Amino acid sequence: MRRLSIAEERWPVAGSFTIARGSKSEAHVVRVTITDGAHQGHGECVPYPRYGESVPQVIAALEGARVAVEAGLAREEIASAVAPHAARNALDCALWDLAAKQAGTAVWQLAELPRPVPAVTAYTLSLNTPAAMGEAAAKAAHRPLLKLKLGRAGDEERLAQVRRNAPTSRLIVDANEGWRPDNLEAMLAACAAVGVELVEQPLPADDDEALRGALRPVPVCADESAHGLDTLDALAGKYDAINIKLDKTGGLTPAIALARAARQRQLKVMIGCMLATSLAMAPAMLLAPLADVIDLDGPLLLASDRTPPIRYDGSLMYPPPPALWG
């Protein structure tokens, strides 16, 4: 018979992490372990207040599903048994890990995905003053792909400072819903002027209609506006790409379906993450072969990580070790 274990964990950030909505000093995660007596499957999720989810709520939902999980709940049944998407993610990933260990094979093979290979991840520069972001860019200028957190007054100067100090790095931007329709085109033009390749969620998810008629010299990626398959239709005409995060989709299983559906609609695919450990990055990395942009740098922003961790050689991210997941 299965046994379910649930653990609340806190992983300090190396320094601080700031976006347009506020700052964090730690990654507050929930780890799920499902064992059959001989094998253990693990999953990690990050309940996110922006989506109306909290750690206590997710733990309560998982406890509420304990009987069903321990009785043999299948991955295909998770959505009907658990409401919060973060909780679904932890369960889904733990069941994939358990199935792989039971079968003696890798998750990518069970899921009929391409074999994972090393891939370059974006490295995030936390939102700060223009001067501070310029200094951070100088320290990270050796990295091939930088992600700038923007969304407050002074973003034009932030862009200029980062480009000046990291002249050869590719740049992407995440405004985290911090811009408004009246400055949208000016900000997209400023991004284009310094060679930004992608802008995530410039407008609030409930006020993004202005994207439909706007000049978009830089491709725009839906993040807070995009969750599962049911949100794809609403993106048409407004977005050029979609950021797929397992905590939004509710696990690896729906994320695979979403990535394939986005490809069919000619949307670029970005694989993203919340601030979390290597255990959360491991299943997301299996989607890297389906993606145009990989943003799985969560562990690089923490003061410590799990053992064994995913290996990062600068910004080159390696497939997760089997002892971690998958």
Q: How far is CA 76 from the centre of its chain?
A: 22
Torsion angle (degrees, nearest 10) of CA 188, 194, 199, 203: -30
Same-domain pairing of 73 and 131: no
With the C-alpha atoms ordered 163, 293, 306, 60, is the resulting torsion angle positive or negative? Answer: positive
Domain assignment of residue 325, yes or no = no
Same-domain pairing of 13 and 139: no
Q: What is the pLDDT, as a whole number, of residue 140?
A: 98
Query: What's the domain count of the chain?
Result: 2
Say what the pTM is. Answer: 0.96
Give the Cα separation of 18 and 10 in Å (integer).
Answer: 17
CATH number of the domain enclosing 53: 3.30.390.10
Q: Which residues contact 22 (CB under 8 A, 6 or more apart)?
A: none
Q: Which residues of the chain have pLDDT under 70?
A: none
Give the Cα separation of 106 and 325 in Å (integer).
Answer: 9
CATH number of the domain enclosing 124: 3.20.20.120
Same-domain pairing of 182 and 222: yes
Bridge pairing between strands 316-317 and 312-313: antiparallel
Same-domain pairing of 204 and 305: yes
Does residue 238 have an active-site annotation? Answer: no
Q: What is the pLDDT, as a whole number, of residue 22?
A: 81
Torsion angle (degrees, nearest 10) of CA 317, 321, 325, 326: 90
The label of the residue with tokens 């980062």 reads 162
Same-domain pairing of 43 and 145: no
Indicate the residue among 106, 140, 171 that finishes a domain.
Answer: 106
Domain assignment of residue 113, yes or no = no
Catalytic residue among 101, 147, 238, 245: 245
Give the Cα separation of 58 and 244 in Å (integer).
Answer: 20
CA distances (Å), origin 150, targets 16, 135, 176, 210, 261:
15, 15, 7, 19, 29
Does residue 245 have an active-site annotation? Answer: yes
Q: Which helix (H) or strand (E) holds 58?
A: helix 55-64
Q: What is the pLDDT, as a whole number, of residue 24?
A: 87
Catalytic residue among 101, 147, 149, 248: 149
Instruction: Give the tens place of pLDDT for each residue, 127-171.
Output: 999 999 999 999 999 999 999 999 999 999 999 999 999 999 999
Domain assignment of residue 111, yes or no = no
Angle at CA of residue 56, ends 52 and 57, nearest 5°: 45
Structural domain boundaries enclosing 20: 3-106
